[in-house]
Structures are given as C-alpha cells and as structure tokens.
Amino acid sequence: MRVACLLLFSLAAVSAPALAVDIDGHIQPEEWKGARHITDFRQVQPLSGKPGALHTEAWILATPKGLAVAFRCDQPAGVPRTHQRVQRDFEDQVDRVNVMVDFNGDGRTGYDFVVSSTDGINDAVITNETQFNKDWDGNWKHAVSEDAAGWSVEILIPWYTAPMHAATDGQRALGIYLDRVTGSTGERDAWPVASFTLPRFLSEFRRIEVPHYSQSLFAVTPYVSGLYDNVRGRSHFQEGADILWKPSGQFQLTAALNPDFGQVESDDLVVNFGATETYVSDKRPFFTENQGIFDFSLLDDNSQLVYTRRVGGPSDDGHGAADINAAVKLNGSFGSTSYGVLAADEDGEAGRFFGAARLTHDFGEQSLGMLLTRVDRPWLDREATVLGVDHHWRPTPQLTIATNVVGSDILQSGTHTRDSGGTLIADYEMGDGWRQQWLGMHFGDQLQINDFGYLDRNNFNYAHWEVRKRYTALPADSAYSSKEWRYRIDALDNDHGLRLRRQFRVSRNSNLRNGATEVVQLNVNSAGWDDLLTRGHGALFLPPSIDLAYERISPRHGDWAFKLDAEVVSGGLGGNRQFGYDIKFIPTYFISDAFSVYAGPYYEHLPDWLVWQHDNLIGRFDEHTLQLDAGFDWAINPRQELRVKLQAIGLDARLRGGYRVGANGRAVASDEPVDDFSVRNLGLQIRYRYELAPLSYLYVVYGRGGYALDGYARNTADAFGNSFALRDDEQLLVKLSYRFDM
C-alpha cells in the first residue's frame, strides 16, 4: 500500500503543472518547464520594431500562487550597467524590466510591475490606454541575480491583485506586455511591439490564455500614529485599520475604519495666484487599491469625475482638514460587466458624504461605461449629483475614437442648477511614423463637477488638430536615437462665444543615445480674452504672446545626473513687447549607488505679471522668484531608507500699476491703491521608513513649513533667505502599520 501511494504521488508530481516557482532570481529550467518562452523582443524606444540591440528572453507561467514571469537580460561588459539603488516608485533611468498585465484582456485596466537590476520596484495602474498612476502599491514577489554575462529577474503576481472577470472553460484570457530597458542608452525592447507614446497601448497587449486559478485574500492592516505639534505644544494619537477582503476575482472589498488619511508623502510647494486650482495626486492606500475602475478622464489634463483628494480635504466650515468616520469600496464583475462602488463619510456637522458608482462593459472593439457620483454637503445646504457616460471604439486597426458625456445637477438652498459637457478625441495612425489627432470639447458654464471631481475650468469650447511625424532611422553618428515632431492648431472660446485663444504649437520630443530625453516646444498665441482673471468681474483683452520651453533630463553618467528646464515667455498687458524667463537646474551627485544628494535653483522673472486684487481691479507687477529644491535619498539597506526634501521659495512683486477692466474689456489705468508684495514659503521633510514586511511600515517623519504673504516688497534674495525662518508648522509623526494576511 505504501509503495502504491508513493507511486501515485510521484506520477502526480510529474504530470501536474508546477505548483510553485521559487522566486530567488535564479531561473531554473525545471521550475519553468511548460512556461511560454519569449525571445522576440523588439525596439519600441526608439519605435523602430527592429530586434533589440541586446538579447532578452522571458518566460510566462500560470501557477496556483500567481502569474510568474522571468527575464534573462544579456548585458556584456561593453555595455555599462546601472548599479544605482532606487526607492519604491522610482523614476530613475536605470536597467529595469516591466511586466504589464491586463487581467481581463479587455484593454480597460492594466497593472505595471517594474523591477530594476538592483531589485528596486515600481508599480502602477494603467487606464485610458496610456495613463499610468503609480500611487498604487501592490503586494507581489520579485528577486534579481547578476553574473558576468547579464542579469535575471523572477516575478510572481498573485491572482488576487486585481478584480477579474469569471474564467471560461477553465481558461483565463490575459493581456500581456513585457519590456526591458537599458539604462545607459534608454533603449526599450518589448514583446509585443507596442508603445505608450501611441494612442493605443493597453489594448495592444498580446492576448494569451492561461489555466484558471483562484486565490482569496483577507488582509487587515491596523495602524497607530502619534503626532506632536511643536508649535502649538500638543499631541494627537490615532488608531484604525484598513481591511481587504478578496474572496475571488469577481468580488473585492476595501474598507477603512477610523482611517488615518494623513500623508507621509510631502507635496511639492506651489505658489498659486491664478483662478484655477492646483491638482495634487493621492498616495493614500485606501484610494489607490482597486481604484482603476473609477478612472473617468475628461481628456483634458488631470480632469476627472473622482478626485479622491476631496475626501478628507478642507472642511466646509473652514476648520482645517475634515475627519473621516469610515470608507468602503466594492469592486467586482458579472460576465463582461465590471462594477465599483465607493462611499466615504466625514465626521461632524460639516461632514460630507461622498458616493460613486461605476459600471463598464466590453463589446470587443467597443466598450461603454457609466459613472455616477453624489456628494452631500450639509454645512453648505448643497447636494451635487454628476453622471458621466464614456465610450471607446476601435473601428479599424488605425483609428481610435473616445467620447464621453457628463452632466451635473446641483441642488443648493432649494434651487437646482443643471448643465452638461462632453469630449471627443480621434487618433489615426497613418503609417510610416505619421499620426493625426482631432479633439473637441464642450463644457457648459453651469457644469459643476468639483464637489467630488476635478476640472480646472468649465464654460469653454475647445478644438484642435494635430499631426505628428516620428523619425527612428537616424544616422548612426547622430546623438539622437529618435525624434518626433508635433504640429498643432487649436481654438478656445468660452461658452458664450468669447474668443479666449488661437494657438499654433510646434514641438519636438527626442530620445538620445546616452539615455537622456529632450523636449522643445513653441506656442504662438493670438490675441484673446482672459475671462477667469477677475473671477467673474469682466473679461480682460490681452495682446498676442509666445512661449518657448526646453527640457532635458539626463540619467546618471559616472557620479552625476541632472534635469534642466528653461522657458522664455511673453504676455500680460504688453504682449510681445517684453519677455520673461525662468530656468531650473537640478544636478544630482551620487556619493554611492545607495546615497545621492541633489540641490538646484529655480529662478523666474516675469516683467508683466497680472494679479487679481478685488472685483475688476488688477495689479501689474514686475515679479522675481528664487526657489531651492534640495535633499538626499539614502537606501540604507533593502528595508530601510532615509529621505530629506527641502523646498524654499522667495517671491518679490513690484507694482507697475493698477488697472480696471473697462466695459470694452480693455485695461484702464487706475490710481487706486495696489501694494507691492512678497511671498515666502518653506517645506522641509525628513522621513525615515522601515519595511517590517510587505506593505507594513514604520515611519518617523519630521516636518516643518510655513507660508507668509507680506504686504510690502522685499528684495528677492531677502524673501528667499527669510523663508527659512518660517515655522507655521513643526511636527513629529510616528506611524506604525502592519498588514496581516489571512
């Protein structure tokens, strides 16, 4: 009997698929037996489709524990290797591989898993074909090994990572994209040949079928945090938990109880005197987990119907940030239909309720979606309901069409306000590197989505036509590996027919053979009206203007890397009679592969800067800004990192004159009092992070900052120097969170 049992066990071990792959970075043939083997990696950066300059091969294997992928990257001694240690969600130009997976194979949502040759990782969610959001952090395995001939990577992505449709006949259809980037040259070799620089990327992933496996997950991440406010001399303690329940790919739940929605990431400083809001990304775990389905872009910069920074943002009663009682999110699918439900409730009399419901359905070459949001704001006696419908269509292999329609219904103090908007964008690949794009947008002047969403302005009609030409067959002795020229004409009016702008744009995006990237862009603007400057107190007519911008990002060569931005711009009441400029140069010095220091200035001079004062009174200023960005990154070991980030700003604005906006929209000089002013701003964060286990961290964060608007002029250098004395806030935060997987 014992012999028979041993024989049956041996036969099962031989005939059954691999139950596990040991993720140790060493590719063992017996572990990867039966895997799909890929050797046809071709250049996609530059987008030539030629075989990669360095040999790369990969293996894909579905296992009960997850989707396993391995890379073998040949890299002979003649090709420099990047040994730089990178932090999570790095953007550094280093040797790395990407695994991108569309778990439903429908081209709507993908997940990007990046591993560097030093075992650093980055992960992101891909939506709207080409939009990457790296705010999400997943729990997946990875390992790297290196030898004289090259380096190897093994990756395991659990099946519970993302919501998935039900399998069919024991098989699951996935969309897969793999690539390998050589840091010293910037070359990207991929399978299949697809590029995020094209209108179709996610939908161009290679469809493969794998055996169906199902995993469940129940994870609880309790946290405790303590904050000491050194300015006000008080302490604050908080505890709570995040909960993940994923019984199957067809249903996943995320909940937060007494959530700590404070950020341990520091936002960049912004001095904004304009009429539009500054967009800020969101790294809070509850809002990044399974968030891709709620993406509803209005195809205009960062515009979207669900902007999660609204939740727990400034309270409607003006008493600081709102506290959250609880939040919950459901994701799932039935058939080819995916759904998501999100709800969050804030505390107190001014507490708001946020709700969102999302449906999407795939029809092969077309997909249709709906998103409904609702926000109750009792302090303002306001209820905001927004409904959006989006449609994506690929009628031919060359043509891609995306449309959306959105409407809002605002009930405030018993009165309804309703309006609508919509967008249409069509991309046509003409062949031989040529591409055309047509885009049209309409947003009514009463459309309001910013109770939960983000739209920098409503009340406009916009259209543009753009043509591009890509060059990849450049001479071998050229410093450039590829160039893409873009030409655009556009028209922007408000919804009452007032001409805001006509623009001609020409730009060139280039990749260099040393791994650097370069962008040059020229905008030529016609005369037009600014209907936002006075916040509804009259549109101001402005003369023609131009804007020439240059950006170059150079990866590490030896011990140095740098980023350079420069711009020459005209504008204001003088138009092209006066030019301003700005320049930003940030060099980074690598003391070692694990320790880098950066420090660089930003200087801006705008001789004709217009700043709104009140009603239709504006000030015309000669503005100078000096800013410092500095800090260091130290990867102490694979689990510990120390980061310092310092930003200081000094701005000096000298009055050139006060003006009223006349009945005809022209600026009329006024002797009403308008004062010089200066601005000081400081942000300092020292952050230590220790990774206790995957997605379990100890943070110790010291932060100091302040903002001062002085009603008199300072010398720019003085304003900058005095910014270091600001101390509106000085806090020490200790936060411990630990994830228990059950």
pLDDT per residue over 33-61, tens digit each?
999 999 999 999 999 999 999 999 999 99
Same domain, 45 and 95: yes
Same domain, 55 and 127: yes
What average pLDDT does this structure show over 546-570?
A: 97
Asked whether residue 587 is assigned to any structural domain, the reply reads yes
Same domain, 507 and 531: no
Please tell me the distance from the alpha carbon of residue 7 to that of residue 11, in angstroms, as a whole number: 6
Nearest in space to 180 (alpha carbons), one of 83, 95, 100, 75: 95
| Whether pLDDT at 594 is above 70 | yes
* 492 Cβ contact list (under 8 Å, min separation 6): 460, 461, 462, 499, 500, 501, 502, 503, 528
E strand or H helix at 138: none
Query: Residue 231 — left, alpha, or beta (φ > 0 → left; ψ -120 to 50 → alpha)?
Result: alpha
Please tell me the distance from the alpha carbon of residue 474 to that of residue 566, in angstroms, as a whole number: 26
* 531 Cβ contact list (under 8 Å, min separation 6): 459, 494, 498, 500, 539
Asked whether residue 426 is assigned to any structural domain, the reply reads no
Please tell me the distance from the alpha carbon of residue 36 to that of residue 208, in angstroms, as a whole number: 10
Q: In what order do the strands lie in the sheet with 56-63?
A: 36-38, 56-63, 66-74, 150-157, 141-146
Q: How many residues does the chain have?
A: 742
Predicted local confidence at residue 300, as pLDDT: 64
Range name among 99-108, 257-266, 463-472 with the lowest pLDDT average: 257-266
Please tell me the distance from the alpha carbon of residue 739 to that of residue 244, in angstroms, as a whole number: 10
Q: Reduce the DSSP state of residue 331 to 3 states and report it.
A: strand
Same domain, 581 and 498: no
Asked whether residue 276 is assigned to any structural domain, the reply reads no
Our count of domains for the chain comes to 3
E strand or H helix at 11: helix 2-15
Predicted local confidence at residue 714, as pLDDT: 82
Domain CATH number, residue 51: 2.60.40.1190
Please tell me the distance from the alpha carbon of residue 490 to that of residue 421, in angstroms, as a whole number: 19
Please tell me the distance from the alpha carbon of residue 510 to that of residue 192, in angstroms, as a whole number: 23
Asked whether residue 505 is assigned to any structural domain, the reply reads yes
Please tell me the distance from the alpha carbon of residue 44 to that of residue 179, in angstroms, as a whole number: 9
Helices (H), 118-159: none
Predicted local confidence at residue 76, as pLDDT: 95
Same domain, 565 and 487: no
- Chain centre to alpha carbon of residue 123: 11
Residue 39: how many other CB atoms lie within 10 Å? 11
Predicted local confidence at residue 135, as pLDDT: 84
Same domain, 657 and 553: yes
Q: Which amino acid, one-letter code, is at 586?
A: I
Domain encompassing residue 26:
21-215
User: CB burial class (10 A; 0-12, 13-18, 19+) of residue 475?
Assistant: exposed
Residue 251: how many other CB atoms lie within 10 Å? 15
Contact between 576 and 596 (Cβ < 8 Å)? no
Confidence of residue 17 (pLDDT cuts 50, 70, 90): very low
What average pLDDT does this structure show over 235-247?
A: 91
Please tell me the distance from the alpha carbon of residue 130 to that of residue 425, in angstroms, as a whole number: 14
Please tell me the distance from the alpha carbon of residue 127 to that of residue 105, in angstroms, as a whole number: 13
Please tell me the distance from the alpha carbon of residue 573 to that of residue 541, in angstroms, as a whole number: 8
| Backbone φ, ψ for residue 164 (5° rounding) | -140, 150
Nearest in space to 659 (alpha carbons), one of 617, 608, 621: 617
Nearest in space to 653 (alpha carbons), one of 628, 674, 627, 681: 674
Say what percent of the chain tops pLDDT 90: 83
Please tell me the distance from the alpha carbon of residue 20 to that of residue 66, in angstroms, as a whole number: 9
Contact between 387 and 452 (Cβ < 8 Å)? no
Asked whether residue 396 is assigned to any structural domain, the reply reads no
User: CB burial class (10 A; 0-12, 13-18, 19+) of residue 217?
Assistant: middle
Of the CA atoms within 13 Å of residue 361, those in its CB half-sphere come to: 7
358 versus 87: the higher-pLDDT residue is: 358
Predicted local confidence at residue 8, as pLDDT: 31
User: CB burial class (10 A; 0-12, 13-18, 19+) of residue 683?
Assistant: buried
Contact between 512 and 533 (Cβ < 8 Å)? no
Max mean pLDDT among 256-270, 310-324, 418-432 falls in 418-432
Same domain, 492 and 632: no
Task: Please report the sign of the dihedral spanned by the C-alpha atoms of residue 7, residue 11, residue 14, residue 16.
Answer: negative
Nearest in space to 324 (alpha carbons), one of 291, 289, 350: 350
Asked whether residue 407 is assigned to any structural domain, the reply reads no
Same domain, 565 and 596: yes
E strand or H helix at 182: none
Peptide bond into 673 cis (omega under 30): no
| Backbone φ, ψ for residue 202 (5° rounding) | -55, -40
Please tell me the distance from the alpha carbon of residue 293 to that of residue 252, in angstroms, as a whole number: 12
Record the tokens describing residue 58, joined without a space.
């990969």
| Whether pLDDT at 4 is above 80 | no
- Chain centre to alpha carbon of residue 612: 31
Per the listing, tokens 């119907």 go with: 305
| Whether pLDDT at 362 is above 70 | yes
| Whether pLDDT at 3 is above 50 | no
Asked whether residue 343 is assigned to any structural domain, the reply reads no
Please tell me the distance from the alpha carbon of residue 19 to that of residue 62, in angstroms, as a whole number: 9
What average pLDDT does this structure show over 525-547?
A: 97
| Whether pLDDT at 450 is above 50 | yes
**Angle at 318 (CA atoms; ends 317, 322), nearest 5 degrees:** 80
What average pLDDT does this structure show over 708-737?
A: 93
Same domain, 627 and 546: yes
DSSP E strand stretches across 312-381: 324-334, 337-346, 353-362, 366-377
Confidence of residue 403 (pLDDT cuts 50, 70, 90): very high
Contact between 306 and 453 (Cβ < 8 Å)? yes
| Whether pLDDT at 16 is above 80 | no
Same domain, 474 and 567: no
Last residue of a domain, one of 162, 187, 215: 215
Mean pLDDT score of the chain? 93
Asked whether residue 318 is assigned to any structural domain, the reply reads no
E strand or H helix at 136: none
| Whether pLDDT at 139 is above 60 | yes
| Whether pLDDT at 152 is above 80 | yes
Same domain, 650 and 532: yes
| Whether pLDDT at 405 is above 80 | yes
What average pLDDT does this structure show over 210-223?
A: 93
Confidence of residue 141 (pLDDT cuts 50, 70, 90): very high
Last residue of a domain, one of 185, 215, 245: 215
Last residue of a domain, one of 189, 215, 241: 215
Same domain, 468 and 587: no
Say what percent of the chain tops pLDDT 70: 97
